[in-house]
Amino acid sequence: MEILFQLLYNGYQEVRFLLYYKSFFERYLSKNHAYYINLPAAVKGDFLRLVRDHYEYFDFIPRQNLKMTREIKTIISGVASQLVLNLPTESLTFFEKIIVYPDYYQSRITNKLHKGEVNPGLRLIVLSWRGIVEGMNRSDDGLNLLLHEFAHALWLENKIMHNEYTVLHPALVVYYEQAAAEEVIKMQNDDKHFFRKYALTNKEEFFAVAVENFFERPEGFKTAAPELYKCLVALFQQDLLTSRYS
């Protein structure tokens, strides 16, 4: 009986996906999500199902009279799915809530104006819609709020939950950290480095900036820092330059 119930539930979920979610996901992501647009057709279905999972999982909370539309939720869920397409299913499940402000906001933690932040203590991610739109307006400048904050979330989750489940392969994290340390030294001696100087703030910001560039400027990234690029290909198990998405 339990097996039959599971089969019926799975069938219901698939029908609901095909008749309800799929059409508006495609409509929104086909307009402004370069990653989805460039995905091979064979991968798009699995990607949209992952978008559906994030869309349903996260508790999206609007602030300051922002109208939380399906489009906003789809765009946010799309970038979350982009990072974890080939990572374990538990990835990004540590964080439960996503707060969205219409504009930059004053952080309660720093008392400064923020575009976004990640709060592991409260298991939430905070974003500004203005910051999200600015990141989407140019998909090739290595500046993308959603990629940046979800990279923070992924990195923190991997550190916090490593005793319960694996997000990023431990050996590959070591490989990445070694390459990142070498790249930091290069950055400190090169005012024209491919990464912006903000990456030197700390290890977490370096990873977030690397992720932004990995997805937005892969060709330039690979040319400027081939070993570090190779590390991220291994970590995320995908490479936009070779159309490897699985």
The residue-averaged pLDDT of 194-220 equals 96
Residues 65-96: tens digit of each pLDDT: 999 999 999 999 999 999 999 999 999 999 99
d(CA 19, CA 22): 7
- The contacts of residue 163 (CB under 8 Å, 6+ apart) are none
Q: Assess whether pLDDT exceeds 90 at residue 14.
A: no
Residue 50: half-sphere exposure toward Cβ, Cα within 13 Å: 23
Q: Per the confidence metrics, is the pTM higher than 0.85? A: yes
Residues 199-208: tens digit of each pLDDT: 999 999 999 9
DSSP states of 189-216: T-TT-SS-GGGGS-HHHHHHHHHHHHHH
Task: Sort residue 101 into left (φ over 0), alpha (ψ -120 to 50) or beta.
Answer: beta
Helix (H, G, I), strand (E, B) or coil at 225: coil
What CATH class has 2-167?
mainly alpha
d(CA 104, CA 118): 15
- The contacts of residue 174 (CB under 8 Å, 6+ apart) are none
Distance of CA 110 to the CA centre of its chain: 23
What's the chain's average pLDDT? 92
What pLDDT, on a 0 to 100 scale, did the predictor assign at position 218? 96
Q: In 27-134, where do the E strands start and end?
A: 59-62, 97-101, 105-106, 113-114, 116-119, 124-128
Q: What's the CATH number for 169-246?
A: 3.40.390.10
List every span in the chain annotated with CATH 1.10.472.150. 2-167
List every span in the chain annotated with CATH 3.40.390.10. 169-246
Residues 146-170: tens digit of each pLDDT: 999 999 999 999 999 988 999 999 9
